[in-house]
Amino acid sequence: MSDQHLLLLSILTPFAGAIGIVLLRQRPNLREAVTLLSATLVCIIVVTIFMRFDNAGLMAVDIAEPLPGLKIRFEIESLGMLFALVASMLWLITSIYAIGYMRQHKEKNQTRFYAMFAIAIGSTLGIAFAGNLITLFLWYELLTISTYPLVAHAGNKKARHGARTYLGILLGTSIGLLLLAILITYNVAGTLDFQQGGILAGKLDPAWSGLLYALFIFGIGKAAVMPFHRWLPAAMVAPTPVSALLHAVAVVKAGVFTVLKVTIYIFGTDFITSSGANDWLIWFAGATILLASLIAMIQDNLKMRLAYSTISQLSYIVLGALLATNTSLLGAALHISMHAFAKITLFFAAGAILVAAHKTDISDMGGLGRAMPITFGAFLIGSLSIIGLPPFGGMWSKWYLGMGMVETGQWLLLSVLLASSLLNIAYLLPIPARAFFGKAPDGTTHHRIKEAPPSCLVAMTITSLACVLLFFYPDPFYELAMDIGGTK
Amino acid sequence: MIDTIIGHYNYWVVILLMMAGFYTVINRGNLIKKIAGLNIFQTSVFLLYISIGYVNEGTTPIIAEGFTRYANPLPHVLILTAIVVGVSTTALGLALVVRIKRAYGTIEEDEIHDKDMSL
Amino acid sequence: MIEQNLCLLLVVIPLIAAPVTAMLPAGRTPWFFTLTITWLCFVLSIWQLTIVLDGSTISYELGGWAPPWGIEYHIDALNAFVTLIVSGIAAITLPYALRTVENEIQRRDTSLFYAVFLLCFVGLLGIAQTGDVFNLFVFLEISSLSSYVLIGMGQRRRALTAAYQYLIMGSIGATFLLIGIGLIYAETGTLNMQDLHQRLQPILDHRTVHTGFIFLVVGIALKLALFPLHLWLPNAYKYAPSAISVFLSATATKVAVYVMLRIVFTVFSIDFLKITSTEFIFLMLGAFGVLVASTGAIFHYDIKRILAYSSIAQVSYMVLGMGFASTLGVTATVVHMFNHALMKGALFMAAGAIVLRIGSSKFENIYGIGRQMPWTFAAIFIAGLSLIGIPGTAGFISKWYFMLAALEQQAWLIALVILFGSLLSVVYMWKIFEALFFHRPTNTSPPVSEAPLSLLLPMWTLVLANIYFGINTDLTVSVAETAVRLLGITAYHE
């Protein structure tokens, strides 16, 4: 099968899976089998593409030409490859997790859940393989819309309200700012193709570049740069597998991925540094890192704390993009994968605690670690990787991000990065510490609480092991990330 | 000055009728009076057309011995059509008023409004 | 033989069919006859479009009287395109009409209903086909009079007052149009559009011409429900029978926009627009229309009424596009005429399906109904996304062109209005989505079933067309570009 076919197949398989899921709605076991089957297929296809992938020639497929000169185009390049690998691998793991979680938790409307989940992943792959800005925008919007029912899943007033915030901010920024930025780009450059070195250099007045860049950065609401971050905490009303895969990996990473794409292939790193488009934007990202960490500290709800932690971590990647040096871009791209594996572990653990112990607040979790050692063990590993300590994968991305700041002489930003790492320790480590060594608030022991369902434990174990593995063997992601910076 | 004003007397008549009709349509709450106003309004436009078709010292546009100047027949023809349209509008409007009277028991606009709101 | 008389046949066939329909026995016979006629016209209109697609024109002299004395049908890409929209929507509405009309119209009235429907159809087709301004007035009145009747046939008694209100406003508009035509006739002595264009050029600064222009524009603005003359529309669309809401919302205002384009650009000219700064007025009215009508839509709790307000907003976009007076702007207008017919047709069809099952379109009666009617809900959802302008749908193509036209002239304020209008449409469409799907049903009424297939098929044809024309724009954009070129509009340059 040719590469083109594989590429299209990888995007279409989740959609076909969604249809299968709907058709088999009366038979839950078969329905879950379809989810697992399509997740496995997508994973195999994406890995196959990765094996065949060499950076020598870009491979593109044009589907249609809705507007003169603007095509629906897919292509494979390193950054997209990296994102697709992360998303497809984690979909498979999350599917295993979700089946245990949803059944144990007796959620309603599971068919809708699995079908929309598959469509969301298909859209994510569409974003990863988009060959120009308009195609990317198409899938970006589709991702927002397909995740809306997942956020509103519970259907009660709280869920509807959260989903409204979610949709309002994501659609609002994308229509109000991102679309405007895309149109201005098209108006100035006459094209929306992704090109090495950017398409705006020499065509856009450098004085305006900062404004346009800001339209992009804030317009990509999925990157959750403050003040457009409120949707992510609001999305935490969704079932945990959604928070885990979509709001720690697919949706938010789609945001920062778009930021990276725009930075590298629309503006071009040289244009950004020479025009000073990033001068003041880096402080927004820096402020987001610190503020979100501080807010995370005062959250007692575990998922909310993780959500603010995600906002903070996303801005690491945005910051890496904004600095626009080879090293910082390398760090940013690596952080997409490293943070994904670590944060999904944390969410898996949070979901497991909810399912097994019915607890959502951190203050109630004292002593719980002795009843659920595997869950909290995984949580500990995920936390350490987020903090960026060896021997966990998270160290590499932080290392290169820090290097990027040293290179550009941004000492203040470097201190922000270090301060944020300290804050990470302060808001993440007390949770497992309290669970293992603390006592339950009312003095009782948790002898009646058992570990989460096996499928949840398996998923957690795999992702936490991956965090360790990525420290010793980051090569696949590292090499892809190297290509982006152009250092190869 | 006076000459222009008097010379264009047809326009003054048209404007007067037009304003009277328009005012009635807007101001009256009675549905039938509104239609009457609409009729006056339309008729003023018919007059406008017919009067601009007139040619000085022209006669009716029928070819006959000894006449060379004729009034322009086209506006008259057009207005025949427009009159038909006006008549159908009036007929339809009155038919609607009959139906409204049956449904609401009144043809006063404010009373109809009250009945709809009280539901 | 047929090809030569094509443009006349498109008007004559339904015109003859209308009285025939009235004489048919009540029941399904008149429906079937009307269905046949509309599909025949649809086929003929496609044929006509293929002839003029390359930018050529057809000139047809009625009764053999040569223009400018006789009435001329002058068909170019724009006429043919509008005819295609009207006949296409009619052809797709008819299968839908069968069940809803049986539900809403008394059986003994069906023959008359379909006869009047055909008259309305004739009127709209005639407006699109004719090249004579007075003939246009006559067809406009045929379509308007028949649509008053059709709206008045709605189930609720408020349909009558809505029709009456529409009749008064519509007649005032038509009379204004008549005054305008009279004034420019007095100046030029002709009624043929091409001829008028020639004769008006040297006298564009005459005050009578200006007065005539103002009367014409105000008259048409009433017909197309342009802000601030839009007040008749929401009630008319809300209380009309479902099939009529579909047909009128998808065609009537679009045809009025076409008339505006014809009068402004063909009869007068783009230069006239620029001399008199009318483009600025169009921009302002369009922008206010978008904002006021979209905001208005947010504060209603009734699907049909929200959609009606949204129609006013969408028409305002089209006027906005004319206000740009550039190739891109008017292209956007023409493309949006087509795309809006697709999306609003689908939306009103879905609303009608809900009315068929529930008997109401108010939110309080339809909470959570989307779960019991998943296909209808999905249709509303996709067509709604198209209305918002999500990429991959037809609506996005329109929005894209409107935005490009605004950016080209660096009209930042207008660009922001367009985007803000989109955001407002997100709000009111999402109110509908939430009410239909995520809200728990409030009453314990017996469960309803999905809409019948005869409603779903036309609805989904339009929904799929929304996606198709969002991905493949060969037809819409190329026709629009040809039409705009023939209107004498040039690209914008500073």
Dihedral (C-alpha) A192, A194, A197, A203: value to the nearest 10 degrees?
0
Q: Domain spans of chain C?
A: 277-494
CB contact under 8 Å between C434 and A145, yes or no, is: no
**Quick check: A20 and A34 in contact, CB under 8 A?**
yes
pLDDT above 80 (res C442): no
**For residues A241 and A97, is the Cβ–Cβ distance under 8 A?**
yes
Question: In this prediction, what percent of chain B has a pLDDT beyond 90?
Answer: 34
C-alpha A418/C-alpha A344 separation (Å) is: 23
Distance CA A306, CA A243 (A): 10
Taking an 8 Å cut-off on Cβ atoms, the answer to whether B88 and C145 are in contact is yes
pLDDT value at C139 more than 90: yes
Rounded Cα distance, A204 and B30, in Å: 64
Of C404, C440, C471, the CB nearest to A187: C404
Chain C: closest CA distance from residue A167 (Å):
9
Q: d(Cα C203, Cα A335) in Å, to the nearest integer?
A: 70
Instruction: Report yes or no: A210 and A275 within 8 Å, Cβ to Cβ.
Output: yes
Q: Is the pLDDT of residue A58 over 80?
A: no
Beta bridge partners of A132: A193
Which chains reach chain C with 3 or more Cβ–Cβ distances below 8 angstroms? A, B
Question: What percent of chain A shows pLDDT beyond 90?
Answer: 7
Helices (H) and strands (E) in chain A, counts: 22, 2
Q: Is C134 on the interface with B (CB under 8 A)?
A: yes
Average pLDDT of C466-484?
89
One-letter amino acid of B24? T
Provide the token pair at A452. Answer: 């989460």
A269 SS3 class: helix
Contacts of B49 in chain C (CB under 8 A): 178, 182
Domains of chain B in start order, with CATH, are 2-117 (1.10.287.3510)
Cα–Cα distance, A235 to A232 (Å, whole number)? 5
Structure confidence at residue A11 (pLDDT): 87
Measured distance CA(C200)–CA(C269) in Å, rounded:
9
For the segment C171-178, the average pLDDT, to the nearest whole number, is 92
Query: Which of A65, A134, A155 is closest, CB to CB, to C391?
Result: A134
Rounded to an integer, the average pLDDT of C413-420 is 91
How many CB atoms are located within 10 Å of the residue C165 CB?
A: 19
Query: Which of A29-38, A239-248, C41-50 holds the top average pLDDT?
Result: C41-50
Q: How much is the average pLDDT of A48-70?
A: 76
Q: Check pLDDT > 90 for residue C83.
A: yes
As to burial, measured by CB atoms within 10 angstroms (0-12 exposed, 13-18 middle, 19+ buried), residue C5 is exposed
Residue C443 to residue A232: CA distance in whole angstroms: 34
CB A70 within 8 A of CB A419: no
Q: Give the 3-state secondary structure of residue A24.
A: coil
- Assess contact for C299 and C256: CB atoms under 8 A: no
Helices (H), C224-326: 233-239, 242-261, 270-275, 278-298, 303-324
Judged by CB atoms within 8 Å, which residues 135-154 of A form the interface with C?
Answer: 137-138, 141-142, 145, 152
H or E, element range at A73:
strand A70-76
Q: Is the pLDDT of residue A80 over 70?
A: yes
Task: Say how far residue C64 (Cα) sits from the centre of its chain.
Answer: 32
Q: Is C415 on the interface with A (CB under 8 A)?
A: yes
C374 touches chain A (CB under 8 A): no
DSSP state of A473: -
| Angle, CA A235 vertex, CA A233 and CA A237 arms, to 5° | 100
What DSSP string runs through C369-380? Answer: GGGTSHHHHHHH
- Of the candidates C403, C423, C438, the beta carbon closest to that of A172 is on C423
Mean pLDDT for all residues in chain C: 89
Give C362's strand partners. Answer: C302
Could C161 and B48 be called an inter-chain contact, meaning their C-beta atoms sit closer than 8 Å?
Answer: no
- Evaluate the omega torsion of the peptide bond into residue C458 and state whether it is cis, within 30 degrees of 0: no
Residue C486 pLDDT greater than 90, yes or no: no
SS3 C151: helix
In C146-185, the residues whose Cβ lies within 8 Å of chain B are: 148-149, 152, 157-158, 160-161, 163-164, 167-168, 171-172, 174-175, 178-179, 182, 185
Query: In this predicted model, which residue has the larger pLDDT, A171 or A483?
Result: A171
For residue C166, the chain B residue with the least C-alpha distance is B93
- Which of C130, C165, C166, C175 to probe the B interface (max B CBs under 10 A)? C175
Do the chains C and A touch each other, judged by at least 3 C-beta pairs below 8 angstroms?
yes
Instruction: Write down which chains contact chain B via at least 3 CB pairs under 8 A.
Output: C
Phi and psi at residue C269, in whole multiples of 5°? -165, 170
Residues C390 and A102: their CA atoms lie apart, in Å, by 31
Angle between helices C242-261 and C207-223 (to 10 degrees): 160
Q: Would you say the pTM of this structure is higher than 0.80?
A: yes
Identify the helix (H) or strand (E) that includes residue A66. Answer: strand A59-67
Instruction: Give the pLDDT of residue A486.
Output: 53
Counted residue by residue, chain A has a size of 488
pLDDT at A487 over 50: no
Residues of chain C found within 8 Å of residue B52, distances taken between Cβ atoms: 182, 185-186
Exposure string over A276-294, b if 16+ CB within 10 A, otherwise e: ebbeebbebbbebbbbbbb
- Side chain identity at A26, as an amino acid letter? Q
DSSP assignments along A301-369, one per residue:
BHHHHHHHHHHHHHHHHHHHHHH--HHHHHHHHHHHHHHHHHHHHHHHHHHHHHHHH---BGGG-TTHH
Chains that touch A (3 or more CB pairs under 8 A): C
Q: How far is C332 from chain A (nearest CA, A)?
A: 12
DSSP assignment string, C32-77: HHHHHHHHHHHHHHHHHHHHHTTS--EEEEGGGPPTTTS-EEEE-H
Has residue C133 got a pLDDT over 60? Answer: yes
**Residue A130's beta-bridge partner residues?**
A74
pLDDT tens, position by position, C47-68 = 999 888 888 888 888 877 777 7
A488 pLDDT band, cuts 50/70/90, is very low
Task: Please check whether residue C364 is in contact with residue C301, taking contact to mean a CB–CB distance below 8 angstroms.
Answer: yes
Greater pLDDT, C103 or B63? C103
What pLDDT sits at residue B59? 75
Examine the pLDDT at C260 and tell me if it is beyond 90: yes
Residue located via tokens 């109904």 = C369
Residue A116 tokens, joined: 């929309």
> Using the beta-carbon criterion (under 8 Å), do B48 and C179 form an inter-chain contact?
yes
Helix (H, G, I), strand (E, B) or coil at A76: strand
Closest CA to A337 of A239, A479, A198, A235: A479
Alpha helices of C153-203 — where are they, by DSSP H?
Answer: 158-188, 193-200
Q: List Cβ neighbours of C111 (8 Å cut-off, separation of 6 or more).
A: C21, C22, C23, C24, C25, C26, C29, C30
Tokens 């007095």 correspond to what residue?
Answer: C186
Instruction: Report d(CA A195, CA C202) in Å as an integer.
Output: 52
Residue in A closest to C418 by C-alpha: A176
Size of chain B in residues: 119
When pLDDT is cut at 50, 70 and 90, the band that residue A56 belongs to is low
What token pair was written down for A94?
């999350």
The whole-angstrom separation of Cα A319 and Cα A410 is: 11
Mean pLDDT of B88-113: 90
- What is the arithmetic mean of pLDDT over B45-53? 85
Q: Which of A302, A336, A299, A298 is nearest to A316 (CA)?
A: A336
Over pLDDT 70: what percentage of chain A?
Answer: 96
Interface touch B92/C172, C-beta < 8 Å = no
Rounded Cα–Cα distance for residues C450 and C437 (Å): 14
**Residue B118: predicted pLDDT:** 66
CB atoms within 10 A of CB C11: 24
The ipTM is: 0.91
Is C389 in CB contact (< 8 Å) with chain A? Answer: yes
Interchain CB contact of C298 with A (< 8 Å): no
On whether any CB of chain C is under 8 Å from the CB of A134, the answer is yes
Closest by Cα among A334, A372, A300 to A474: A334
- Min distance C145 CA to chain B CA atoms (Å): 7
Would an 8 Å CB–CB cutoff place C112 in contact with chain B?
A: no
The answer, yes or no, to whether residue A183 has pLDDT greater than 70, is: yes
C423's tokens: 């955001």
In angstroms, the separation between the Cα of residue B95 and the nearest Cα of chain C is: 10
pLDDT at C287: 93
Which two tokens mark A190? 């006459």
What's the pLDDT score for residue C123?
A: 94
pLDDT score of B91 more than 80: yes
CB–CB contact B48 C182 (8 Å):
yes
Contacts of A142 in chain C (CB under 8 A): 390, 392
* Residue C453 CB coordination number (10 Å): 12
Q: Are residues C423 and A175, on separate chains, in Cβ contact within 8 Å?
A: yes
Chain B residues interacting with chain C (CB cutoff of 8 angstroms): 22, 25, 31, 34, 38, 41-42, 45, 48-49, 52, 75, 78, 81-82, 85, 88-89, 92-93, 96-97, 99-100, 103-104, 112, 116
Helix and strand totals (H; E) in chain B:
5, 0
Backbone angles phi, psi at A73, to 5 degrees: -130, 140
User: What is the distance between the alpha carbons of residues A36 and A91, in angstroms, rounded to a whole number?
Assistant: 9
Segment C282-294 shows an average pLDDT of 92
